[in-house]
Amino acid sequence: MGKSTVKLVAIIIALALIITSFSFVVFMPMAYGATEQFTIDEQVKLKDADLTEEERNQLLINRLNLLYQYINLLDQNYKDEIDINTIVDGAYKGATDALGDIFSEYYDVQENADAFTEYVNNTFVGIGVRITTVDGGTVIEDLLSGSPAEKLGLQPGDRFVTIDGQDVSNWDNAAVSKVLRGEENTTVKVTVLRNGKNYDYTIPRAKVSDSSLTGTMTVYDGIGYILISKFDQDTATEFTQVYEGLQSRGAKGFVIDLRDNGGGYTEQAEKIADYILEGCLITQYEEQGKVNLKVRAKDGHKVSEPLVILVNKGTASSAELLAGTLQQAGYKLVGTNTYGKGFSQVMKTLVDGHSFKLSTNYFLVGDKGVKITTSGLTPDYYVAGGTLTEEQLAEAAEQIEKFAPLTLTDKPTAGSSSLTVYAAQQRLGFLGYDTAYSGVLDGKTITALKQFQSDCGLYAYAVVDISTQKMLDAAVMAFGSGTDAANDQAEKAIEILGGLMK
């Protein structure tokens, strides 16, 4: 879509929110289905590529006129009374959904938009606790530093019994979190169970921030560990402080953990890349096939210590930008294939107060300008390990249950077509390898198979032999159980660092 068309759409959308019904009539054709330039049949057949920009603008106006008439027809003829705002919100939502992009969203409920903003900013109004599920109840896992809950003496391990008089002993975390939050300067009454005794608290709600980053020294001499859980508005500053703090404590190498980091502000990922790198291209932003912005690491600072980056299927968006840029610069990724979301969104608000989130740019990483596809980044060292949440474990178990069996007798070779090949493809895909699901041992599957065999220390060749089948099953079960003691990702990262620090 051309820039002038974008502006026209913006103007029309704004007008649709503020002008009167009479104003719409000015643009209405004389009869349903009539247009000023194209018949309906012609409009359906026309492709954008066939139109001049002027014709495209006119087509858009015509279709919007018809949309007005259609909504008016619904209003006058539907069997029940309808709420015009509900219908119009549905039209906006439908237009956004028609993009086919799950990351673009029109918020007809402002609460949902606010929740997303809170998540990205890592700032919310509440009592300042991290909660988890233990034996079917909601328990305080940790307290945020300086939060109202910490100041009043709540403790990790406290189990919520009641909140504002409601029995929440069997509520899930999401429901408990919702009632703990609220407007700033209001209070919430909670009863918690601690060591067999109930304790009552009246806690003021306040704006609190949850740190997106933690750093510790590992048990291995000279290795610093930095976990980045998301990229909020302060992550780059926190990273610099933690990195230099660990340096001062003797860190000579670093593990940067981006596992299960769903992203956030791309600018923060760029700043961390800028801190680590020097003089190279970090990313390029591409809109409608054209690069409209290049971000380059400034000269003057570059880290000297070796780094290894941990990634998995939960590493997405801004986290993939950072991981991909560092990989292009020569740093090693350890873990599984990443999520595969190489584009960014903006959050905007219309004149009536409704918000929407829209994917606007692809980001291409590194000097080579690599586009992150849906298969994600491929790690330099594939290790199926780490931990999974309860929800992820349940999902993994459901997937594994549907896998075709491996025969442990058939040994398919290149070009073979069999159930064993399909079973191997299912497991390779589950583990994050880019493969087909055709039942044929084709070129794409062979590439994934060899990578798996190499990662597991097996002879890498185009045969799904018995050892490979056994290793595939073992890797799947290890991943699906949430841990992999034999091939722990962090241990592998530390092993690599140990070699680089010699």
Write down which residue in 363, 382, 401 finishes a domain. 382
- Chain center to CA of 412: 37
Q: Is the pLDDT of residue 319 over 90?
A: yes
Residue 264 lies in a domain: yes
- 253 or 47: which leads in pLDDT: 253
Amino acid occupying residue 158: D
Q: 186 and 136 share a domain?
A: yes
Q: 396 and 302 share a domain?
A: no
Determine the pLDDT at residue 499: 85
Handedness of CA 182, 260, 369, 328 (dihedral sign): positive
Determine the pLDDT at residue 269: 95
* pLDDT-based confidence at residue 304 (cuts at 50, 70, 90): very high
Determine the pLDDT at residue 486: 35
Q: Regarding beta strands 332-335 and 307-311, do their DSSP bridges make them parallel or antiparallel, or are they unpaired?
A: parallel
Q: Retrieve residue 416's tokens.
A: 């073979």
pTM of the model as a whole: 0.63
Write down which residue in 157, 178, 209 finishes a domain. 209
Q: Is the pLDDT of residue 7 over 60?
A: no
Q: 55 and 173 share a domain?
A: no
Rg from Cα positions in the chain: 27
Q: Is the pLDDT of residue 128 over 80?
A: yes
- Spatial separation of the C-alpha atoms in residues 121 and 125, rounded to whole Å: 12
Side-chain half-sphere of 176: how many Cα atoms within 13 Å?
26
Containing domain of residue 311, as a range? 213-382
Determine the pLDDT at residue 434: 85
Q: Is the pLDDT of residue 12 over 50?
A: no
List, in sequence order, the alpha helices (H) in 249-309: 266-276
Q: Is the pLDDT of residue 483 over 80?
A: no
Write down which residue in 161, 178, 209 finishes a domain. 209
pLDDT digits (tens, 9 = 90+) for 177-232: 889 988 888 999 999 999 899 999 999 998 887 777 777 777 577 889 898 988 98
CATH number at residue 245: 3.90.226.10
Residue 493 lies in a domain: no
Q: 255 and 375 share a domain?
A: yes
- 386 or 157: which leads in pLDDT: 157
Q: 260 and 378 share a domain?
A: yes
Q: 450 and 333 share a domain?
A: no
The enclosing H or E element of 454 equals helix 443-455
Residue 92 lies in a domain: no
Q: 332 and 201 share a domain?
A: no
Determine the pLDDT at residue 182: 86
Cα of first residue to Cα of last residue in the chain, in angstroms, is 54
State how many domains the chain has.
4
Could you give the 3-state DSSP secondary structure of residue 404? coil
Q: Is the pLDDT of residue 396 over 90?
A: no
Q: Is the pLDDT of residue 404 over 80?
A: yes
Chain mean pLDDT for the chain = 82
Q: 315 and 189 share a domain?
A: no
Residue 88 lies in a domain: no
Q: 289 and 398 share a domain?
A: no
Q: 153 and 172 share a domain?
A: yes
